[in-house]
Amino acid sequence: MCDGCGCGEQDAGSRRVVVEQELLAKNDSRAAANRDHFRSREILALNLVSSPGSGKTTLLERTVHHLAPKVPVSVIEGDQQTTLDAERIKACGVEVVQLNTGNGCHLDAEMVHRAFHDLPDQRGGFLFIENVGNLVCPAAFDLGEAAKVVIVSVTEGEDKPLKYPAMFAAAAVCLVNKIDLLPYLDANLDKLMENARKVNRNLLVLPLSAKTGEGFSKWLDWLDEQRLAR
Ligand SMILES: Nc1nc2c(ncn2[C@@H]2O[C@H](COP(=O)(O)OP(=O)(O)OP(=O)(O)O)[C@@H](O)[C@H]2O)c(=O)[nH]1
Ligand SMILES: [Mg+2]
């Protein structure tokens, strides 16, 4: 109870905290099972997170184009509505499942578990999970991935890592996308990269353009290294 006024504020607040803790604990346990499942099949699962429109699907289209001839690749697409992103990925010739979260602002481990079982066995390959475009909630939900990859585009402003630190702290790699637009912006790429590293000094920060392919080889190298290290 809040001090004396009888509004019930604190009771409601503590109930909410308990429900959130239970929800996250349940998710963590499902995520651990997903992780075991991926490991046992030598699948490298990566969780792509960003604000809406940073370029996750464009990045995946180009990534799939490079990887799919050499190694099994499958994709889980997360969006509130539509199958638009899954259609784009399907057109690249790889297996894809679209998840629609309705009002939900992130994917959770149970959704990924179900989607994964709708995909053919892709032993030894990559599973890319494109999360719902949102720089906040997906940070809290482990999906069982080997790593989170955060994408931030140069059009979003240098301050985003500082304003949304949880996502940058949770990621292993930060792809700074749309660098082809730098000549037309007053964006400061160095500052953006510095801010990302300020939040997470272990973060690998790679500037690239998913549209033109500039800087893309370093991202592909990182993917190769992760696959070999598995
Ligand atoms: N100039 C430029 N445009 C890009 C680049 N990457 C993506 N875009 C454009 O940015 C827009 C959004 O790209 P998407 O790949 O759909 O972004 P997304 O993050 O998947 O979006 P949501 O799934 O809706 O969150 C599209 O118009 C892309 O063509 C890039 O490197 N350079
Ligand atoms: Mg997308």
- Burial of 96 by CB count in 10 Å (0-12 exposed, 13-18 middle, 19+ buried)? buried
Please tell me if the CB atom of residue 178 comes closer than 6 angstroms to any atom of ligand 1: yes
- For residue 51, the CA-to-ligand 2 centroid distance in Å is 10
Mean pLDDT, residues 206-221 taken together:
98
The number of angstroms, rounded, from the C-alpha of 121 to the middle of its chain's C-alpha atoms is 22
Please tell me if the CB atom of residue 200 comes closer than 6 angstroms to any atom of ligand 1: no
What are the structure tokens assigned to 109, written together?
Answer: 């481990």
Looking at the DSSP bridge assignments, the partners of residue 78 are 99
- Give the mean pLDDT of the chain: 93
CA angle 181, 184, 188 (to 5 degrees): 75
Residue 21 is predicted with a pLDDT of: 84
Separation CA 93–CA 17 (nearest Å): 44
* Whether the predicted pLDDT of 10 surpasses 60: no
Please tell me if the CB atom of residue 182 comes closer than 6 angstroms to any atom of ligand 1: no
Please tell me if the CB atom of residue 138 comes closer than 6 angstroms to any atom of ligand 1: no
* Whether the predicted pLDDT of 182 surpasses 50: yes
What are 103-141's pLDDT values in tens digits?
999 999 999 999 999 999 889 999 999 999 999 999 999
Greater confidence (5 vs 27) lies with 27
Residue nearest to atom 2 of ligand 1 (CA): 178
